[in-house]
Amino acid sequence: MREKLFKIIDVSTEDNSLSHGYDSFMMIVIIVSLVPLAFKTTNTVFLIIEYVSTFIFIIDYLLRLITADFKTGLKHPAAAIVYPFTPMAAIDLLVILSSFSFLSNGFRVLKVLRLMRSLRLFRAAKILRYSKSLVIIMNVLKKEKQALSAVATLAIAYIIISALVIFNVEPDTFDSFFDAVYWATVSLTTVGYGDIYPTSTVGRIVTMVSSVFGIAIIALPSGIITGGYLNEINKKDD
């Protein structure tokens, strides 16, 4: 019985209609539960959403806890002890605990309530469990972690070197090295907010060179992830 329950609540790779239905249902609950976070005020409908979604999240957590031995490969009670410390289970627990902030509306601990409210954004991370496409992307990130780590190292080195160059070229424009790092990061992503910018000819040349290299560096992880994603799709089709 518990094994059948596990195959339903876990993301199934088989043609399991009950599992697919459960995944779709949980996706809808997660998305609906995020709606109140888009508003500063609350009302009866939002409170109902909070109560119902929190209740569903608790049931989902308990179901996963009693079937933890199939997930972890351990026997009870060891599985029930280890499972809460796994990444997704920790997210689930944070979601549930932070949801209880609406019970404390009578207290004026605004900072704590805001912090607890923001923790409910972890609900978005729960989507990773129920979305097949996001699961594929996570697998791609794991397989391509060495290449992505190399690109990340290159990007960090680029930012630091660019910041050092511009900070020494235009010391009057950048009050601190952090400002130079901020400028280099904006240049790398080619966002260009325009709040901090070089004014000298040399500084502008450095900016142009920096922007060109930034485009090349930003394109690297996109190509790696896209290639890995297509490989995963082709494997599933085969």
Tell me if 135 is assigned to some domain. no
pLDDT tens for the 238 residues of the chain, in order: 777 888 788 765 556 778 878 888 888 888 888 888 777 787 899 889 888 988 998 998 898 888 888 877 788 778 888 888 888 788 888 778 777 655 444 443 434 444 444 555 565 666 666 666 777 777 787 888 888 888 888 888 888 888 888 888 888 888 888 888 888 888 777 676 777 778 888 888 888 888 888 887 878 887 888 888 787 777 766 6
C-alpha distances (whole Å) from 116 to each of 36, 94, 102, 119, 122 are 14, 9, 9, 5, 11
Do both 25 and 92 map to the same domain? yes
Do both 110 and 215 map to the same domain? no
**By residue range, what is the domain housing residue 76?**
2-130
Do both 118 and 8 map to the same domain? yes
The whole-model pTM stands at 0.57
- In three-state secondary structure terms, 16 is coil
Asked which of 95, 130, 165 is the last residue of a domain, the reply is: 130
Asked which of 77, 101, 130 is the last residue of a domain, the reply is: 130
Please give the Cα distance from 220 to 231 (Å, whole number): 17
Degrees to nearest 5, angle at CA 212 with 208 and 213 = 120
Q: Are 94 and 119 in contact (CB under 8 A)?
A: yes
What interhelical angle do 145-169 and 201-237 show, nearest 10?
170
Tell me if 136 is assigned to some domain. no
How many H helices and E strands in the chain?
12, 0
- Interacting residues of 100 by C-beta distance below 8 A, sequence separation 6+: 54, 116
Structure tokens at 90: 């920790």
